[in-house]
């Protein structure tokens, strides 16, 4: 009985997840196919990037000896600095918002709560399903990048760095996906969960990226989850396990908040 909600959540999202998996895989294979062309003119591109405004460099992580010619630099700029976290965050926030608030608005949640399963168990199982979906998408995208390494990168990035960078992205996405679940559990409104969590993610991203240019934001940047996601640039230097632990801890706090909010609220019928 304790696993029924989890299995139902996985099964109900299977078709949408399949499309996300296919799209993520194809997109990253396409990105990898562009690399040989980029590498052939990497010197010119690096010189062009050096002349870009500081705001552009901050947003996309340009600088610190980073070169388009290296697979690590290419993947950092084209995938891990913005595109991949954006994809995973969008997917996780959507799942988290649907998990409680979406089912409450559609009337399906009443059927779940009519069973002997406690509210706390419902929240935990739905959060676990969100994490599994995000991990599955990340795993498929990792396979796409490994294929890119074999086909286009002449061996590519070490698997340990690639896995570490992907793990950091998963933890970031699970954090915001769980936060969306918590907002939905507290309000019962899917639109509020998506809007509030997406806005928080955007604000956190801007604080982190702009802190390199705005001195008074540097202290606030340490409160941004993106600080712990990309500060160490794991695709280039390997994962920082302290940063990963912070992201995991924040996700656990969001889960605790979701349990408390849902346990104390009258569910709309």
pLDDT value of position 167: 94
For residues 186-208, average pLDDT: 92
pLDDT value of position 59: 61
Q: Reduce the secondary structure of the chain to three states and give it as a string.
A: CCCHHHHHHHHHCHHHHHHHHHHHHHHHHHHHHHHHHHHHCHHHHHHHHHCCCHHHHHHHCCCCCCCCCCHHHHHHHHHHCCHHHHHHHHHHHHHHHHHHHHHHHHCCHHHHHCCCCCHHHHHHHHHHHHHHHHHHHHHHHHHHHHHHHHHCCCCCCCHHHHHHHHHHHHHHHHHHHHHHHHHHHHHCCHHHHHHHHHHHHHHHHHHHHHCCCCHHHHHHHCCCHHHHHHCCCHHHHCCCHHHHHHHHHHHHHHHHHHHHHHHHCCCCC
For residues 207-229, average pLDDT: 84
For residues 71-96, average pLDDT: 88
Of the listed ranges 10-19, 88-97, 111-120, the least confidently predicted one is 111-120
Question: 207: which 2 tokens?
Answer: 């604080």
Per-residue pLDDT reduced to its tens digit, 11-53: 888 888 899 999 999 988 888 888 887 777 766 666 666 666 6
Residue 81 has pLDDT above 80, yes or no: yes
Of the listed ranges 78-92, 134-148, 213-227, the least confidently predicted one is 213-227
Confidence of residue 168 (pLDDT cuts 50, 70, 90): very high
Question: 198: which 2 tokens?
Answer: 């997406």
Residue 99 has pLDDT above 80, yes or no: yes
Contact partners, residue 135, CB within 8 Å, separation at least 6: 170
pLDDT value of position 258: 94
């Amino acid at each position: 009985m304790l696993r029924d909600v989890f299995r139902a959540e996985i099964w109900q999202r299977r078709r949408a997840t399949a499309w996300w998996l296919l799209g993520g895989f194809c997109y990253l294979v396409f990105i990898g196919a562009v690399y040989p062309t980029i590498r052939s003119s990497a010197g010119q591109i690096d010189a062009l990037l050096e002349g870009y405004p500081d705001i552009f460099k901050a947003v996309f992580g340009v600088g610190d000896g980073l070169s388009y010619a290296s697979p690590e630099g290419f993947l950092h700029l084209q995938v891990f600095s913005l595109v991949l976290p954006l994809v995973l965050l969008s997917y996780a926030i959507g799942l988290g918002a649907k998990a409680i608030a979406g089912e409450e608005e559609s009337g399906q949640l009443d059927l779940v709560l009519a069973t002997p399963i406690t509210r706390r168990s419902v929240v935990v199982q739905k959060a676990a399903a969100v994490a599994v979906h995000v991990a599955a998408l990340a795993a498929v995208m990792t396979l796409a990048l490994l294929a890119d390494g074999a086909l286009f990168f002449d061996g590519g990035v070490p698997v340990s760095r690639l896995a570490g960078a992907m793990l950091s992205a998963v933890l970031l996405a699970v954090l915001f996906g769980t936060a969306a679940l918590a907002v939905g559990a507290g309000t019962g409104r899917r639109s509020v969960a998506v809007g509030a969590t997406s806005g928080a993610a955007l604000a956190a991203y801007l604080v982190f990226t702009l802190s390199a240019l705005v001195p008074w934001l540097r202290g606030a940047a340490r409160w941004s989850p993106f600080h712990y996601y990309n500060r160490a640039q794991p695709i280039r230097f390997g994962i920082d396990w302290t940063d990963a632990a912070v992201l995991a801890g924040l996700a656990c706090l969001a889960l605790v908040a979701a349990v408390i909010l849902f346990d104390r609220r009258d569910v709309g019928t």
